[in-house]
């Protein structure tokens, strides 16, 4: 790593990156614990996830302040500037990830009283594991300053979308077969949507990591799968 | 932790720890204290460091002995070990071990790994120390435990689930060490708990799966037995027919149990990478030889062009690699109508991006398993293409789910050569084997035109 004359400057930059990684670790834990609380029907764990979101929010503000202070005092240039800006942006994405994880935990609380819908919760769990893995990969790429690894995450967003579409279909079928499951399935549907959005944030972070390291945005269009517009013929349409 | 308190605080209470355990910990402490001493006295003469290490080792050993009056004779310090031998101890430990240093109680950003033994380096792909702890571990609970050990002086053990495809579980113990100047230090010891957690989950899954899947054939067996004892008692023709069906059901159940057991075995070993070398091309040729009768019966042609010998060497377990090829080819035969062809291809020397790349532009594509990226690794890819009905896009992500069967593979119909009804576990087994090999799996399909399954394994270097 290139160093500056002022050692404190280097330290501040490293510190900023470390803080973002720490926040990432918190967000990762929130996501996997939100999923676990849903899968195990564990109300205490869900409540912990909900309460801990405040910590992520506080860390987000702290990172933003530190980054702004660094810009004001050190006036970073080139890759230092990219690093600082990336820290701000990634922290923003992570804050959203925390909110979405909290929302998953909240929805999980709503499911605890009802009958277990094991095949569906299994599917959500699988999707959650996939999303958590993406988040881990992209944060690993960030810590290691590795653009190629980030790009790998960026390219694989489609996989999460596919899972979401499959789940969407599965849920609709369930609801049509047995209207009594509609309340629970709606919660699950929102959970799936939240997970899908966490995946999107991981993709955003991947773009930031790529930009931070190389100074360029990833080339080519962002991979997209068509949304599940009408996977099942809407009743009453024809 | 008892041992660390004992020598450092001069506490000589007897401890009820198991002998060998105590011994191992004594060895760790010994080596680490020597190491810390040496690192702390970098500027001093080496002899001083060696003396410090030796003195610390002596102090620990004598108090350890005092604490363990019934310990076996092996606890006696080996007279020839010497300070260098003591320093080498943590390096030889099979479990990952690191020493973390921190100065600021409030700055999580300054925790540095100042020592990591080879297993720890391999685990986190660490370069030369020191490196920032946060680059390797972000788990908030572990970081908290580290801070408590560094500045609170308390030892704690936490469960760390790093996620990722291998899904490991580590029990990390953070223990305070004597500080060096203003730098506080602690020891992190990693114990692998992947096995025990996996065994527990497997037991639950196995029970749930097996009972669910065996219920239907058992119910039908019961029904036939009842009929044989009652209405069909004097009807030898019906008896013959029923007994045939019952034999079918029984063989289906035993196949199911066989598949479940093989899945469990593969799952259990999933995090232990295989170490052998296998020529993928040769393995496929052997598989094809074994599959020829089935293919002939289904009137499906199998085509494969072997690679040059040695080109397709992969790191793997031969039996498992053959099982993957077998399951994929068998599926392909099953879905290809009579007179059709199954095309098998192998390519070597691919980068991860190339191995992941689509071979069939207009098809929908779904990666079912992607290995953790590592730029140094090249892959050998095997693709199996069938000319069957294909798989609808929305079903692709569910293919490796247990007991998931795509419609169109109905048991008992002509497309089921060898009478082998799918257990719904074939691709799940493939996925777990490939994951064990740190490889990848992807599927592409165009409905009506067929499907392509691609597996890729890390290529063995020609060393």
Q: Which of B100, B125, B130, B163 to mutate to test the interface with A (most CBs of A within 10 A)?
A: B163
CA-CA distance, B424 to B131, in Å (whole number)? 47
**Would residue A227 count as lying in a domain?**
no
**Would residue A237 count as lying in a domain?**
no
Query: Residue B463 half-sphere exposure, CB side, CA atoms within 13 Å?
Result: 4
Give the largest Cα separation in chain B, rounded. Answer: 100
Task: Say if the Cβ atoms of A19 and B109 lie within 8 Å.
Answer: yes
Query: Residue A104 half-sphere exposure, CB side, CA atoms within 13 Å?
Result: 33
**Would residue A34 count as lying in a domain?**
yes
pLDDT tens per residue across span B311-330: 888 989 888 999 899 989 98
Task: Say if the Cβ atoms of B110 and A25 lie within 8 Å.
Answer: no
pLDDT tens per residue across span B368-391: 888 877 778 889 999 999 888 888
Query: Which string of DSSP letters, residue by residue, matches B188-240?
Result: EEEEE-HHHHHHHHHHHHHHHHHHHHHHHHHHHHHHHHHHHHTTTTT-HHHHH
CA-CA distance, A212 to A143, in Å (whole number)? 12
B211 CB near a chain A CB, below 8 Å? no
CA-CA distance, B154 to B134, in Å (whole number)? 21
Task: Say if the Cβ atoms of A143 and B143 lie within 8 Å.
Answer: no
Q: Is the pLDDT of residue B13 over 70?
A: no
CA-CA distance, A220 to A227, in Å (whole number)? 20
pLDDT of residue B409: 46
Q: What is the 8-class DSSP label of residue B459? A: B
pLDDT of residue B374: 78
Provide the token pair at B229.
Answer: 């004892």
pLDDT of residue B72: 40
pLDDT tens per residue across span B68-118: 444 344 444 556 777 777 778 888 888 999 999 888 887 666 788 888 888
E strand or H helix that includes residue B172:
strand B168-180
Sign of the CA dihedral B36, B41, B46, B51? negative
Task: Say if the Cβ atoms of A15 and B110 lie within 8 Å.
Answer: yes
**Would residue A223 count as lying in a domain?**
no
CA-CA distance, B322 to B326, in Å (whole number)? 6
CA-CA distance, B409 to B331, in Å (whole number)? 9
Interface list for B 159-188 with A (CB within 8 A): 161-165
Q: Is the pLDDT of residue B53 over 60?
A: no
pLDDT above 70 coverage of chain B, percent: 77
- Say if residue B130 is preceded by a cis peptide, omega within 30 of 0: yes
pLDDT above 90 coverage of chain B, percent: 12
**Would residue A11 count as lying in a domain?**
yes
pLDDT of residue A97: 94
What is the interface pTM, i.e. ipTM, of the complex?
Answer: 0.78
Q: How many CB pairs under 8 A join A and B?
A: 85
User: What average pLDDT score do residues B419-438 get?
Assistant: 81
Task: Say if the Cβ atoms of B162 and A166 lie within 8 Å.
Answer: no
Q: In this structure, are residues A159 and B367 in contact, taking their beta carbons and an 8 Å threshold?
A: yes
Question: From the CB of residue B294, how many other CB atoms can be counted at a distance below 10 Å?
Answer: 17
Q: Which residue of A has its CA nearest to B443?
A: A159
Query: What CATH number is associated with residue A141?
Result: 1.20.58.220
Q: pLDDT class for B65, splitting at 50, 70, 90?
A: very low
The domain in which residue A139 lies consists of 3-214
Q: What is the 8-class DSSP label of residue B168? A: E
Task: Identify residues of A whose CB sits under 8 angstroms from chain B CBs.
Answer: 14-19, 21-22, 24-26, 28-29, 32, 126, 129, 132-133, 136-137, 139, 143-144, 148-149, 152, 156, 159, 162-163, 165-166, 169, 231
| Residue B273: C-alpha distances to residues A134, B44, B276, B352 (Å) | 22, 44, 10, 18
- Following CA atoms B151, B157, B163, B164 in sequence, which dihedral angle do they give, to the nearest 10 degrees? 90
Task: Please name the member of B164, B367, B396 whose beta carbon is closest to the beta carbon of A133.
Answer: B164
pLDDT of residue B421: 56
Task: Say if the Cβ atoms of A18 and B134 lie within 8 Å.
Answer: yes
B358 CB near a chain A CB, below 8 Å? no
pLDDT of residue B141: 87
Provide the token pair at B310.
Answer: 């040695």
CA-CA distance, B137 to B125, in Å (whole number)? 12
**Would residue A168 count as lying in a domain?**
yes
Q: What is the 8-class DSSP label of residue A85? A: H
Provide the token pair at B36.
Answer: 């810390």
For the ranges A119-123, A145-149, B176-180, B406-410, the one whose mean pLDDT is highest? B176-180
**Domain count of chain A?**
1
Task: Answer with the residue of higher pLDDT: B309 or B327.
Answer: B327
Q: pLDDT class for B407, splitting at 50, 70, 90?
A: low
pLDDT of residue B61: 43
Task: Answer with the residue of higher pLDDT: B15 or A191.
Answer: A191
Task: Say if the Cβ atoms of B140 and A22 lie within 8 Å.
Answer: yes
For helices B236-268 and B194-229, the axis angle rounded to 10 degrees is 180
B108 CB near a chain A CB, below 8 Å? yes
pLDDT of residue B339: 87
Q: What is the mean pLDDT of chain B?
A: 76
pLDDT tens per residue across span B245-278: 888 888 888 888 888 888 888 888 888 888 888 9
Q: In this structure, are residues A6 and B118 in contact, taking their beta carbons and an 8 Å threshold?
A: no
Provide the token pair at B12.
Answer: 């000589």
Q: In this structure, are residues B396 and B443 in contact, taking their beta carbons and an 8 Å threshold?
A: yes
Task: Please name the member of A148, A165, A166 whose beta carbon is closest to the beta carbon of B375.
Answer: A148
CA-CA distance, B137 to B146, in Å (whole number)? 11
Sign of the CA dihedral A90, A91, A96, A100? positive
CA-CA distance, B253 to B258, in Å (whole number)? 8
CA-CA distance, B327 to B329, in Å (whole number)? 6
pLDDT tens per residue across span B208-244: 777 777 887 788 888 888 888 888 888 888 888 888 8
Q: Is the pLDDT of residue B25 over 60?
A: no
Task: Please name the member of A132, A152, A231 whose beta carbon is closest to the beta carbon of B373.
Answer: A152
Q: Identify the segments of chain A with pLDDT beneath 70.
A: 1-7, 221-238
Q: With CA atoms as reference, report the closest residue to B108 among A146, A71, A26, A51.
A: A26
**Would residue A238 count as lying in a domain?**
no
Query: Which string of DSSP letters, residue by residue, matches B112-167?
Result: EEEEE-HHHHHHHT--SSPEEHHHH---HHHHHHHHIIIII---EEEEEEEETTTT
Task: Say if the Cβ atoms of B138 and A22 lie within 8 Å.
Answer: yes
Phi-psi region of B3 (alpha: psi -120 to 50; beta: other; left: phi over 0): alpha
Which residue intervals of B318-453 are DSSP H helices? 318-335, 352-356, 426-436
Backbone angles phi, psi at A229, to 5 degrees: -60, -60
Which chain B residues have a beta carbon less than 8 Å from that of A22? 108-109, 134, 138, 140, 143
pLDDT of residue B31: 46
pLDDT of residue A199: 92
CA-CA distance, B53 to B261, in Å (whole number)? 51
Q: Give the CA angle between residues B435, B441, B446 to the nearest 5°.
A: 160
Q: Which residues contact B197 (CB under 8 A, 6 or more apart)?
A: B169
Q: In this structure, are residues B294 and B260 in contact, taking their beta carbons and an 8 Å threshold?
A: no
Sign of the CA dihedral B57, B63, B67, B72? positive
Coil, helix or strand at residue A36: helix
Bridge partners, B380 (sequence order): B457
Interface list for B 187-206 with A (CB within 8 A): none
pLDDT of residue A200: 92
E strand or H helix that includes residue A34:
helix A7-40
**Would residue A64 count as lying in a domain?**
yes
Task: Say if the Cβ atoms of B135 and A152 lie within 8 Å.
Answer: no
Task: Say if the Cβ atoms of A26 and B109 lie within 8 Å.
Answer: no
CA-CA distance, B261 to B425, in Å (whole number)? 11
Rg (CA), chain A: 20
């Amino acid at each position: 790593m290139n160093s500056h004359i002022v050692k404190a400057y280097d330290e501040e930059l490293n510190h900023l990156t470390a803080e973002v990684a720490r926040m990432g670790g918190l967000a990762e834990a929130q996501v996997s614990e939100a999923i676990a609380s849903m899968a195990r029907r564990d109300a205490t764990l869900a409540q912990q996830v909900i309460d801990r979101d405040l910590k992520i929010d506080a860390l987000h503000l702290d990172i933003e302040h530190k980054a702004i202070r660094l810009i004001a005092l050190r006036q970073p240039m080139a890759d230092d500037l990219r690093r600082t800006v990336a820290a701000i942006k990634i922290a923003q994405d992570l804050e959203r990830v925390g909110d979405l994880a909290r929302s998953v935990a909240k929805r999980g609380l709503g499911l605890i009283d009802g009958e277990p819908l094991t095949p569906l919760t299994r599917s959500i769990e699988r999707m959650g594991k996939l999303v958590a893995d993406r988040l881990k990969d992209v944060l690993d790429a960030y810590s290691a300053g590795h653009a190629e690894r980030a790009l790998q995450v960026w390219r694989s967003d489609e996989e999460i979308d596919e899972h979401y579409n499959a789940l969407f279909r599965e849920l609709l079928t369930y609801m049509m077969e047995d209207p009594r499951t509609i309340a629970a399935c709606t919660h699950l549907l929102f959970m799936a949507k939240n997970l899908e959005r966490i995946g999107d944030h991981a993709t955003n972070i991947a773009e930031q990591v790529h930009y931070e390291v190389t100074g360029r945005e990833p080339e080519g269009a962002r991979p997209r799968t068509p949304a599940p517009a009408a996977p099942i013929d809407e009743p009453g349409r024809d | 932790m008892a041992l660390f308190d004992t020598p450092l605080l001069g506490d000589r209470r007897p401890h009820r720890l198991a002998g060998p355990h105590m011994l191992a910990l004594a060895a760790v402490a010994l080596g680490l204290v020597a190491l810390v001493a040496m690192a702390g006295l970098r500027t001093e003469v080496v002899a001083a460091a060696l003396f410090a290490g030796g003195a610390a080792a002596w102090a620990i050993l004598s108090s350890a002995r005092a604490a363990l009056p019934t310990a076996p004779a092996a606890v006696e310090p080996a007279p020839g070990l010497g300070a260098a031998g003591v320093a080498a101890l943590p390096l030889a430990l099979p479990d990952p071990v690191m020493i973390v240093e921190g100065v600021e109680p409030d700055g999580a950003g300054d925790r540095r790994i100042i020592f990591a033994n080879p297993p720890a380096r391999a685990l986190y792909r660490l370069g030369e120390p020191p490196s920032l702890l946060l680059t390797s571990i972000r788990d908030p609970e572990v970081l908290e435990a580290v801070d408590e050990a560094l500045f609170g002086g308390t030892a704690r053990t936490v469960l760390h689930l790093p996620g990722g495809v291998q899904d490991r579980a580590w029990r990390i113990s953070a223990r305070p060490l004597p500080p060096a100047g203003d730098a506080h230090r602690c020891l992190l010891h990693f114990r692998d708990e992947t096995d025990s957690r996996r065994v527990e989950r497997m037991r639950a899954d196995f029970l749930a799966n097996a009972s669910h899947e065996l219920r239907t054939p058992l119910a039908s067996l019961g029904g036939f037995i009842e009929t044989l004892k009652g209405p069909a008692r004097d009807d030898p023709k019906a008896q013959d027919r029923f007994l045939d069906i019952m034999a079918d059901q029984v063989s289906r159940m035993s196949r199911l149990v066989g598949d479940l057991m093989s899945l469990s075995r593969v799952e259990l070993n999933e995090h232990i990478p295989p170490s052998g070398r296998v020529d993928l091309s040769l393995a496929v040729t052997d598989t094809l030889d074994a599959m020829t009768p089935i293919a002939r019966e289904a009137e499906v042609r199998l085509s494969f062009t072997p690679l040059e010998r040695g080109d397709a060497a992969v790191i793997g377990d031969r039996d498992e690699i053959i099982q993957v090829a077998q399951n994929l080819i068998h599926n392909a035969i099953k879905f290809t109508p009579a007179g059709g062809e199954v095309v098998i291809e192998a390519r070597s020397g691919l980068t991860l991006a190339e191995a992941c790349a689509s071979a069939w532009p207009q098809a929908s594509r779904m990666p079912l398993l992607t290995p953790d990226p590592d730029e140094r690794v090249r892959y050998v890819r095997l693709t199996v293409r069938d000319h069957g009905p294909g798989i609808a896009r929305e079903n692709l992500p569910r293919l490796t789910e247990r007991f998931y069967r795509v419609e169109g593979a109905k048991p008992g119909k002509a497309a089921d050569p060898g009478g082998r009804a799918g257990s719904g576990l074939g691709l799940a087994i493939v996925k777990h084997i490939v994951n064990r090999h740190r490889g990848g799996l992807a599927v592409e399909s165009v409905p009506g035109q067929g499907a392509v399954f691609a597996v890729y394994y890390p290529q063995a270097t020609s060393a």
